[in-house]
């Protein structure tokens, strides 16, 4: 297998609350391929955002990363990877924006309210690129135009509160892309946007991916979006990745019963803007209650009593896909 750009190994991020510990991310392993797009999908609350934030160590109390490795590989196969969880704060600050930029689900949480978007973008660019203010401002204006902000020469001097939600989200995306990162982590970047804008932004991300050779980790509820842009798909359930493989395999012939239920719940998968996750049978259990054995067993159509409720499945390779289910692999028999 080709060396990935980023590898998350057995990541554990817990919320340490008064009533107990919520294992929001409980053994996530995944890889992001170089210059390509990984979509991370799964129902609300399964730990997608916490995983994304953990990659840049942006989790705050009461959340704490308690285990795992996050390896960022260099350009040469012989380069030692950098473990972002073990790296010094200073090194991590160098990685943010220039190697890995992130667009959050809530753009207001990541834009400063007291600076114009232009100043914020220029500052982010100049933190990592040795270019002058004027050149950085030109790049920012160009990028604001490319994400579909009208009259970017004027809008660049707006404060975040002067922009609509959709425009703020675009400004956030422009800021991330202005830094030309090797990896863009985008957490539901288009959910708040109308269908036309959403399509425009996704096209833009794909263009820039080509242009910059940038990898994208795209977190989305929308399997239609995943089908449109992803090369690989990771399916998350209750804090772990239950299936990971090429998008064509995972979306057209999913192996894990949870992935199968997700895909079934989408009418006409592949039609842009139509595919939102409908309900999978049952509901996600409350955060303090982790089912024994396979975490999906109480909701699974293929449940085998005395097996799935007792044995934690090992993740195994089945065809071109990694899957954690007792239906697959010698290890699980
Ligand atoms: N501030 C918090 N305090 C306690 N628990 C939290 C907090 N934020 C998240 N969690 C826990 O972490 C779990 C994962 O949350 P996360 O935001 O990563 O889900 P998600 O997959 O991104 O969902 P969505 O699709 O709704 O964005 C939640 O189910 C919840 O139990
Ligand atoms: Mg989320």
The reply to whether 324 and 201 lie within a common domain is: yes
Give the CATH number, domain containing residue 257.
3.40.50.300
The reply to whether 154 and 41 lie within a common domain is: no
The reply to whether 59 and 194 lie within a common domain is: yes
Cα(48) to ligand 1 centroid in Å equals 8
The residue ranking higher by pLDDT, 235 or 20, is 235
The yes-or-no verdict on residue 190 having pLDDT over 50 is: yes
The mean per-residue pLDDT over the stretch 29-43 comes to 96
Q: What is the pLDDT of residue 76?
A: 84
The reply to whether 18 and 70 lie within a common domain is: yes
pLDDT band at 323 (very low <50, low <70, confident <90, very high): very high
Structural domain boundaries, residue 283? 6-99+183-332
* Closest approach atom of ligand 1 to CA 284: 29
Does the beta carbon of 46 lie inside 6 Å of ligand 1?
yes
Domains held by the chain: number: 2
CB distance 239 to 27 below 8 Å = yes
Residue 172, C-beta contacts closer than 8 angstroms, at least 6 positions apart:
103, 104, 107, 110, 111
Nearest CA to ligand 1 atom 31: 287
The yes-or-no verdict on residue 24 having pLDDT over 90 is: yes
Does the beta carbon of 40 lie inside 6 Å of ligand 1?
no
- Which of 154, 180, 206 is the last residue before a domain boundary? 180
- Which of 131, 146, 180 is the last residue before a domain boundary? 180
Cα(45) to ligand 1 centroid in Å equals 5
pLDDT band at 19 (very low <50, low <70, confident <90, very high): confident
pLDDT tens, position by position, 129-176: 889 999 999 999 999 998 889 999 999 999 999 998 778 888 998 999
**Percent of the chain, pLDDT > 90?**
65
Cα(191) to ligand 2 centroid in Å equals 11
Q: How far is CA 317 from the centre of its chain?
A: 22
Q: What is the pLDDT of residue 274?
A: 45
The reply to whether 214 and 88 lie within a common domain is: yes
Does the beta carbon of 53 lie inside 6 Å of ligand 1?
no
Q: Alpha carbon of 41 to those of 15, 170, 217, 306: distances in Å?
A: 21, 22, 11, 29
Top mutation candidate among 43, 49, 64 for ligand 1, by most atoms within 8 Å of CB: 49
The yes-or-no verdict on residue 247 having pLDDT over 90 is: yes
pLDDT tens, position by position, 105-125: 776 677 888 999 999 999 988
Nearest CA to ligand 1 atom 18: 47
The reply to whether 148 and 293 lie within a common domain is: no
Q: What is the pLDDT of residue 277?
A: 47
The reply to whether 276 and 137 lie within a common domain is: no
The yes-or-no verdict on residue 268 having pLDDT over 50 is: yes
The reply to whether 114 and 62 lie within a common domain is: no
- Which of 152, 180, 208 is the last residue before a domain boundary? 180
Nearest CA to ligand 1 atom 29: 45
Nearest CA to ligand 1 atom 6: 15
Q: What is the pLDDT of residue 197?
A: 79
């Amino acid at each position: 297998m080709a060396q990935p750009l980023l590898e998350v190994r057995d990541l554990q991020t817990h919320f340490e609350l008064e009533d107990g510990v919520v294992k929001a991310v409980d053994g996530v392993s995944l890889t992001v391929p170089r210059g390509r797009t990984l979509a991370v999908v799964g129902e609300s609350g399964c730990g997608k955002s916490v995983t994304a934030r953990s990659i840049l160590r942006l989790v705050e109390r009461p959340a704490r990363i308690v285990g795992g490795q996050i390896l960022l590989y260099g350009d040469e196969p012989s380069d030692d990877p950098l473990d972002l969880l073990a790296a010094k704060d200073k090194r991590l600050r160098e990685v943010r924006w220039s190697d890995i930029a992130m667009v959050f689900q809530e753009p207001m949480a990541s834009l400063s309210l007291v600076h114009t978007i232009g100043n914020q973008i220029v500052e982010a660019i100049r933190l990592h690129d040795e270019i002058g203010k004027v050149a950085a401002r030109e790049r920012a204006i160009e990028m604001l135009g490319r994400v579909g902000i009208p009259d970017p020469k004027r809008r660049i001097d707006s404060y975040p509160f002067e922009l609509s939600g959709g425009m703020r989200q675009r400004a956030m995306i422009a800021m991330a892309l202005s830094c030309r990162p090797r990896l863009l982590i985008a957490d539901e970047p288009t959910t708040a946007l109308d269908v036309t804008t959403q399509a425009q932004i996704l096209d833009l991300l794909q263009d820039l991916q080509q242009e910059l050779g940038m990898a994208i980790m795209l977190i989305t509820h929308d399997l239609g979006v995943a089908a449109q842009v992803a090369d690989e798909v990771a399916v998350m359930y209750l804090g772990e990745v239950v299936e990971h493989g090429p998008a064509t395999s995972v979306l057209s012939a999913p192996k894990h019963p949870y992935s199968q239920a997700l895909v079934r719940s989408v009418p006409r998968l592949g039609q842009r803007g139509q595919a939102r996750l409908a309900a999978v049978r049952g509901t996600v259990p409350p955060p303090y209650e982790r089912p024994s054995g396979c975490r999906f067993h109480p909701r699974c159509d293929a449940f085998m009593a005395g097996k799935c409720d007792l044995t934690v499945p090992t993740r195994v390779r089945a065809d071109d896909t990694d899957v954690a289910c007792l239906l697959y692999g010698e290890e699980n028999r």
